[in-house]
Amino acid sequence: MGTRWGILGTGRIATEMAEAIALVPEADLHAVASRSQAGADAFAERWSVPRAYAGYETLMRDPDIDIVYVATPNGLHRDNVMAALDAGKHVLCEKPFATSPADTLACAEHARDRGRFVMEAMWTACMPAMQRAVALVREGAIGTVRHLSASFVARRDAEEYPHLFDPALGGGATLDLGVYSLTVARLLGGPILASSAQGVWGTSGVDEMVVASVRHEHDVVSELAWGFRVDLPRGATVVGDEGSLRVSPLPNPSRIELVRGDHTEVIDLPPLGRGLAHEVIHVEECLRDGLLESPLHPMSAAVRTAELIEEFTTRA
């Protein structure tokens, strides 16, 4: 038997994670919890999950669960993560990790105190195409990086995605999509030093369109965009003094276009399934090696992203 996973929540992302776990032999989906027994039972039947619980706390008390995947609404993440850690579980928490940098940092410190692995579920960082793009940039394939642009603007309808437009549930474009643009900017452009943003707010009180200017270490600058109101090409382009690199689409990149002079090289690295399986594989590797954080997406990165999100949603 492999690592025994429990999932909190039965929504769309929980369904996609169940599908991903099924693709990883080392991972065993052992339990699911919903707010209702009927919801948990339906999910368990669909994915052949042995145990179905009504109430998240019941799953956390299950002594046979090794790691909890938190797939609840954003506003519940902090309390769910803390409860799972108190129950002695490792934790993978869906992005954004929490709705404030203070809560993100508190969870990270609590996991360290408990000696448990914790990670924000930033699957983009685990994708083969993104890892290859990061390696190419670090190897100097495009020379010294000067500029980066990243866009994740995808139309969202309030009737189909009501939680994304509800401030009480941690809605808004920055918490839903901005985390990807910021993560890609960090991975390909380096640590972020300063930023400014402009945004448009909807009638429900959440940010719906945001553009940001970012300054990184080593004089790299970025232009980032995310939002709900239209559909735009989703990807990131990095320009250096010897070429450029584009990775797309976001959030699950599968193609790299590397341009040097008159030559363009296309590298296709399709994901396993939808792509979430690579995140599961990475977590399994971290647990096998006894790590408490991910080297690809450490909690310091999640905390920094949360700080920027707080700045954007305050000033945008």
Active site (catalytic) residues: 95
Cβ pair 141, 243 in contact under 8 A = yes
> With the C-alpha atoms ordered 191, 259, 131, 226, is the resulting torsion angle positive or negative?
positive
- Beta-bridge partners for 236: 150, 247
The first and second tokens of residue 100, run together, are 């404030």
Cβ pair 174, 316 in contact under 8 A = yes
DSSP assignment, residue 270?
P
Give how far Cα 90 sits from Cα of 54, 162, 184, 256, 285, Å. Answer: 21, 30, 25, 33, 13
Q: Which residues of 131-160 are buried (b: 16+ CB within 10 A; e: fewer)?
A: bbbbebbeeebbeebbebbbbbbbebebee
- Using CA atoms, how far apart are residues 217 and 35, in angstroms rounded to an integer? 45
Cβ pair 71, 7 in contact under 8 A = yes
Please give the single-letter amino acid code of residue 77: H
The angle, 0 to 180 degrees and rounded to 10, between the axes of the packed helices 179-189 and 299-315 is 120
